[in-house]
Amino acid sequence: MAPMGLMGLCAAVRGAEYETVRLLEGVLRTLGCEPEGEDASRAPLRIYLGAGGQRLSLYDSQSGYIWPEQTMALSCMIELESGRDVALPYDAPRAVEKIAEQYHRQIVRYYSCPADNTDADARRVASSQLWARDGLMTAIRILHYMKTTGQSLSTLASRLPSFAVTTKTVECSINPGSLLRHLSPKQAQSGEGARINTKSGVILVRPSKRGKSLILTAEAADAELAAELCTEMEQQIESFSLTSERKGSNM
């Protein structure tokens, strides 16, 4: 992923999982990317790994924090710029599709729990894009792109559309299917969950794998708006659940 190495770049790796952090540090050193001096916390670029290396955040003093969804969008932009479509999970940010339009490419989506083979084409594309599910590979891809193009992290971040994502899990005391139909009665019989468009952004409501709770994924122009969307949706869910339970008790 970095055939010419990463000599000349400096980065410090952080994360709660020792083995994952040490693995990426070792790969970066092999490629010639070193922390700056003895104090790695002063390196101009910091790499944060989480969720077993699946989630990646980046930071430097000019760009600030680039959160996992934005980092994923950067890696997608690199792929789209190369003239290739990108496969992502159904709940991945819609903002990436705006980037794809700029390069006249497509974002194809696959499901976490497919009921049939409707997402087979997307899964075939995803099988050759392991970086989309691996924070270590994504970090190397972005660093390699920065080295070959001479662009800084802040320059890359400025090319992304403004968006933020907030995810929240809420209890669900009624049948998730009836709730989803209530929230989005015109929802097509495809995809996973109900996607509701609002003036502030878009929110995806989908059942957890065990069906005992709902996962809210809100996307908006900034984190504050995304959090407000989650709060408003949680209130709607609580209201509908109470109404449904009262009706059931009166039958």
Q: Domain residues of the chain, as ranges?
A: 12-158, 164-249
Confidence of residue 39 (pLDDT cuts 50, 70, 90): low
Q: Per the CATH hierarchy, to which homologous superfamily does domain 164-249 belong?
A: Alpha-D-phosphohexomutase, C-terminal domain (3.30.310.50)
Query: Which residues are bridge partners to 109 per DSSP?
Result: 88
Query: What is residue 193's predicted lDDT score, i.e. its pLDDT?
Result: 85
- Mean pLDDT across 139-151: 96
Contacts 24+ apart (CB under 8 A), 138-141: 138/56, 138/71, 138/72, 138/75, 139/11, 139/24, 139/47, 139/49, 139/56, 139/58, 140/1, 140/2, 140/6, 140/27, 140/28, 140/31, 141/1, 141/75, 141/78
Q: Name the architecture of domain 12-158.
A: 3-Layer(aba) Sandwich (3.40)
Give the chain's mean pLDDT. Answer: 89
Query: What is residue 209's predicted lDDT score, i.e. its pLDDT?
Result: 79
H helix intervals, 13-134: 18-30, 68-81, 95-102, 120-126
Least confident piece of the model among 38-47, 160-169, 226-235? 38-47
CA–CA dist 144, 115 (Å, integer) = 38
Least confident piece of the model among 26-30, 153-157, 207-211? 207-211
Query: What is residue 37's predicted lDDT score, i.e. its pLDDT?
Result: 54
E-assigned strand segments in the chain = 12-15, 46-50, 55-60, 64-66, 86-89, 107-110, 164-171, 194-197, 201-207, 213-220
- Phi and psi angles of residue 203, each rounded to the nearest 5 degrees, phi first: -135, 135
Which tens digit of pLDDT belongs to each residue from 60-104?
999 999 999 999 999 999 999 999 999 999 999 999 999 999 999
Query: What is residue 36's predicted lDDT score, i.e. its pLDDT?
Result: 64
- Mean pLDDT across 9-22: 94
Q: State which H helix or E strand residue 173 sits in.
A: none
Query: What is residue 248's predicted lDDT score, i.e. its pLDDT?
Result: 65
Confidence of residue 189 (pLDDT cuts 50, 70, 90): very low
Query: What is residue 250's predicted lDDT score, i.e. its pLDDT?
Result: 55
Say yes or no to pLDDT of 146 above 70.
yes
Query: Shortest CA distance to 59 belongs to which of 152, 187, 147, 185?
Result: 152
The reply to whether domains 12-158 and 164-249 share a CATH topology is: no
